[in-house]
Chain A
Amino acid sequence: MAGIATVSLSNVPGMTEKVAVPRAAFIQYPFGRQIGDVGDREGQRRICGGMADLLESAKGPNTYVHLPYEWPEPPDQTKWRPDTPAPVFLKRMKEEEEARAAAK
């Protein structure tokens, strides 16, 4: 049965290449804003356009492109983590705290 053509975006090429996908466009933008910043429709359209170009041009699987656009803020000033850490991070923080207490 015929499949459906896909194109993915990813800001973690190391992970996506291990998964191995038909087509992926890589972008060095933060989690939660991989297409661009709030209100930047022109910039957002560039990323969607990059995905569309790849969808049309790729000739076979594992076709990856690195989009050239740079995020305007340095990584340590770029917010992407939620204000309340995810449950698994809260769990890890608690375990590290307990390990530190046990080591004393």
Chain B
Amino acid sequence: MAITKVDSLFFHPGQKDRIEQMRANDPAETPWTPLSKPLSECRVTLVSTAGIFAKGDVSFDYDRERAEPTWGDPSHREIPRTAGQDDVEYSHLHIDTSFMAKDRNVAWPVDIFNDYESEGKIGSLADTLYSIMGYIPNFNPLIKRTAPLMVEKMKSEKVDAVFLIPV
């Protein structure tokens, strides 16, 4: 049966109170950047919240999260687009990452976007892709420090559009 309205609690009824208690931002303040050209001419990148990092790179700080369970690492990792399925770790502690470890495209569609580039659906996939680890109870450092660093790198690579894929 076709879904007409996605149910926020379908897979995780326990987060009802958390959603209700969230302070809503004013939609009148939502930022807006139009797509500047057809997608077939755009350079695109991906941002995941799955805690992905290249093997050999520094892990997200799970020692501190285990010691302080209401703290989450607000930093990001850059992942070269050339990194393959098994060249990275899928490390988020709050979800079952074993599906991504078998087929990254379940939440990190690098192979699909490589195909989109070959097919001409997108102009190109940028050299650098990005991940954060999505459990960040205090998101101020994410907004103030991490996001600007990612944007700076994206601009240096002339990225036109970003696909954000939370897990």
Residues of A within 8 A of B (CB): 2-15, 17-22, 26-28, 30-39, 41, 44-45, 48, 51-52, 55-56, 60-62, 66-70, 75, 78-84, 86-88, 90-91
Contacts and interface: CB of A to CB of B under 8 A. Distances in A.
Given A5-B162, A28-B6, A32-B95, A62 B30 contact: yes
A31 B95 contact: yes
Given A8-B164, A70-B3, A82-B93, A31 B11 contact: yes
A35 B25 contact: no
Contacts of A8: 163-166
Given A4-B162, A52-B121, A56-B39, A69 B11 contact: no
A4 B30 contact: no
Contacts of A14: 8-9, 19
B8 A12 contact: yes
From A7, A19, A32, A36, residue with most partner B Cβ within 10 Å = A32
B15 interface: yes
B58 interface: no
B159 interface: yes
13 contacts: A6-B164, A8-B164, A28-B7, A28-B10, A31-B12, A34-B106, A38-B103, A55-B39, A61-B30, A68-B4, A70-B2, A80-B96, A91-B69
Nearest to A33: B106
A20 B166 contact: no
Contacts of A44: 105-106, 109, 112
A61 B31 contact: yes
B6 A27 contact: yes
